[in-house]
Chain A
């Protein structure tokens, strides 16, 4: 009876809500962190990430691990742009990584071009390839998309093995040691570590920017619900393609740096899933998928841990490190859906709520 009565009231006036003003509304500027705070957090986080470098700057063994951690952190953060923010669980990022690696190696060995000069065009090339192969794949949702990207990785592996004139096939390509800043080849490991740090700093800066941009919000909307995204006027395919292009381009830059650090690449190094395509996703998953710091955090934990596992069990239990990582991935997927960053957030929330 009372509900029909509501229909006969006055047709004008603002919508009154019972119980509104129950507690004062936070101003909009407090609900979304200010740009200043976001960039201060960024600087703080990067300073923290730089600390191990300062501590171990004279230790070649640790510098190697630190350089790889920065590199893998940057690659996982690149993956996170489409895999985390955009929710498109790609396992085929090895392809873009390899594009960066091979293009650089080919230009350096054949024509002596500086990797600094090829890095950006290579990234753009990888972004174009990524859009081309993603176009049909993005029609697939969830696990089907992941499987399709997995297939791309395997196809690229076979192609790289066969295109001997270009990639050197199974023999691979090696880059002669000619030290110099212009060649991106250094005598000292600390220079490589610094280079990798620059890479991860760039990718995370882009993530901070993206998370506060329209494209970033659109990627999140696409991840959360494609139909709702469309209802908000979002061209879902275009947003996915843009996110993928950015992610793939950055991954290719990581491939360039990786090549110049190792100075030798071959198909197994670039396409072995647990080392490359799946690794990026694993690090982001463990650290906190879809968060800004998760991928680097994941790398900081897993890369040194894996390194230790490998050296400790290489002879007695070969492949043991893979088994442990696989187990970790399953545990993270089951019990820590939002990764370590999710745990940290929950803890912060709990302590804040306490009076």
Chain B
């Protein structure tokens, strides 16, 4: 790849593998995310994206290799401690705390930095404003729409004041208008200095805002580059469409 700054990567994966019995769901993947980057991980269904994501969040521990954060191995660091250190995350299937209202949901994250109710409340409210959900503050999370729930998860992660946010298919199931709004939100957060690592199934979405794309297929890293490079890489087209479709990258995105 092109020359990268030699500063300590924010997040680094060194030759990580995850074995489930006879299945090697992630097979020797390495990558690094620099501060301020937006990196996407794509791949067809069953490529090992979610397993890989779980290695990053601490839900799973790699069988081999290591995950490093800010220059330190975090293989043995449990999920909640990763969150405390500044790794925010969302879930593929949104997990709003449905009995609580939207503001309280975000407060759960905001309490990390301040135990006082008033402070956590005001901080959480500011985050809701930042993601354009302040008008829904009093609504029970169980009554929110799918896209609002997803956004609430982003807000809860932001309330941790994270250094990096790991997003697991935040666009899945959203309509085109909602995807557009979401992309705009992520871009504005990125412009404020946040680093993102995104798991995404949809190539269109990735092309719209990602600087660097990594492609997984059957647990292996098969390509890495800019969105345009990736969409034209024969290996990627083969992974998505099967052999014999070289040069039809445009159709994947169309």
Contacts and interface: CB of A to CB of B under 8 A. Distances in A.
Max chain A C-beta neighbours (<10 A), residue from B100, B132, B159, B190: B132
Given A7-B207, A15-B181, A224-B100, A233 B137 contact: no
A225 B124 contact: no
Contact of B137 (A14, A20, A22, A28): A28
Contact of A227 (B91, B120, B138, B209): B91
A232 B179 contact: no
A212 interface: yes
Contact of A24 (B135, B179, B181): B135
A231 B57 contact: yes
Given A6-B208, A18-B181, A231-B157, A28 B125 contact: yes
A351 interface: no
B97 A7 contact: no
A228 B79 CA distance: 10
Nearest to B184: A15
A225 B105 CA distance: 11
A218 B191 CA distance: 31
What does DSSP make chain B's interface, helix, strand, loop or mixed?
Answer: helix
A28 B108 contact: no
Interface string B79-117: 111011000111100011111110110011101100101
Contacts of A109: none
Contacts of B137: 25-26, 28, 31
B80 A236 contact: yes
Contact of B108 (A12, A218, A227, A290): A218
B235 to A, nearest CB: 23
Interface in A1-59: 2-4, 6-9, 11-18, 20-32, 35
Nearest to A290: B99
Given A25-B137, A28-B125, A225-B97, A232 B103 contact: no
Contacts of B57: 231
Interface in B103-148: 103-104, 107-109, 111-112, 115, 117, 120-122, 124-125, 129-135, 137-138
A329 interface: no
9 contacts: A3-B176, A3-B204, A28-B125, A31-B138, A213-B115, A214-B117, A220-B108, A233-B81, A235-B80
Given A20-B135, A231-B95, A232-B109, 11 more contacts: A3-B179, A4-B253, A7-B209, A11-B190, A14-B188, A20-B132, A212-B117, A224-B99, A231-B80, A232-B112, A232-B156
- 4 interchain residue pairs of minimum CB distance: A7-B208, A17-B132, A6-B180, A28-B125
